[in-house]
Amino acid sequence: MVSLISTEKLDAVLRVRCTVSHLKRWGDLADEYDESLSAMVRRLLDQLPPQPRRPLATVNPVLLRQLALAGNNLSQIARVVNANSGAGSRLQAVGILTQLTVIERQLGQLLREGSEQ
């Protein structure tokens, strides 16, 4: 049996002749297992069991929308600060950008907490 995790680089290519219907059916089967056709063929030839699908994270759509709006606002503020950071106001711009970075990290933490619920 081959390990599920391989550090070997996948640089060799195996070509298989098949009909279009075979290719479609195999592709659909790979999609059912949420893996690429290549990964499915390697798994089957190595006689490995399919990996269980990881459940999709659920995120509150209202929270996600609010975080997106806040992120857009942060981007706009950072753009203005960068555009107006002349030689005399560099220290002020650095302070503002530092605070924006802190806010961005806090928003990321909120998003992670919201997706865990």
Reported as a single tens digit per residue, the pLDDT across 13-49 is 999 999 999 999 999 999 998 899 999 999 999 999 9
Residue 54 dihedral angles phi and psi, to the nearest 5°:
-80, 135
| pLDDT at res. 2 | 47
3 state SS for the chain: CCCCCCCCCCCCCCCCCCCHHHHHHHHHHHHHCCCCHHHHHHHHHCCCCCCCCCCCCCCCHHHHHHHHHHHHHHHHHHHHHHHCCCHHHHHHHHHHHHHHHHHHHHHHHHHHHHHHC
Answer yes or no: is pLDDT of 3 > 70: no
- Angle among Cα 91, 96, 97 to the nearest 5 degrees reads 95
| pLDDT at res. 88 | 61
Reported as a single tens digit per residue, the pLDDT across 45-100 is 999 998 877 777 777 888 888 888 888 888 888 787 777 766 667 767 777 888 88
